[in-house]
Structure 1
């Protein structure tokens, strides 16, 4: 039985377009799988980038006459020989624990080789509360400041709650109002669920 094709949501397509420029496809795959519940495959990412007209700025090819920086040096001697000894790291290689900010303003932290990055606020939430987040868990910023990673500024909700909070405009720049908004969203969802059972 063939696997059912994935239907891309507008949020997925938008995020893909934002993170694509300047990144290799494996890195894009890691970011997509980190942000969304669906587990994408590299072939799906490659196909979507082409289908939606996005450009990674890396086509994997070199112009005629271009010499690669890491081309093999077999047979070369003297000053022209470039050798990478075991343990030598490329100049632009990021260490585990390195941080960067993505196109959406979120802080990413490198957690594993060769190039696996995760959202820092999720990492910290797990550390603060000694739990393991699931794909359905969403950590939002109570004051909407994506650089504020203090414990009391990170609120754990699920994806359904997030949709409800966005729909009802329950996310504010005020921490306490956003926390109240998350509880209101939870209450609305419970009432809807109860009505559904009673009907």
Structure 2
């Protein structure tokens, strides 16, 4: 498939950027302070299709397909999170980006955490979606589904937590001492 055959999203352009011996597909839109969106597993840039246009109103948004996914090269070899993080750092260098805001979902969230921990001077802010902070692994707090289930059990009956109209709106989160997410604080 050619990049010109990708599903259209208004204002989004597609290209390849060579980094670390691979070509990463990058969906890009907007101008302003840079934001990099990292997809989860098994996804690619398309998971951000509703987010990109809203962020692009005020930011330069880059949504790369990680190596081996989407329209990026899939070489034999290393697919460790450290390799993905090195690819994103190389993408930042290739694009002349100093500090960026970084958003990672699922697998991309771990890549974002790793990049932020190894290169904090390059990260303006970082958001991890649908992941526990990696340093909680093994503590029981990150692996136990009980707090997650208790905080969300009523929401499973609803069609969706976020609607298309919610994209781009500020969200604030808070924790109760018991470790459950406060839905009241999230709604403010």
| Higher-helix-fraction structure | 1
TM-score category, normalised to shorter length:
under 0.3
Larger relative contact order (C-alpha < 8 A, sep ≥ 6)?
2
The structure carrying a bigger strand percent of its residues is 2
Larger radius of gyration: 1
Q: TM-score under structure 1 normalisation? A: 0.26
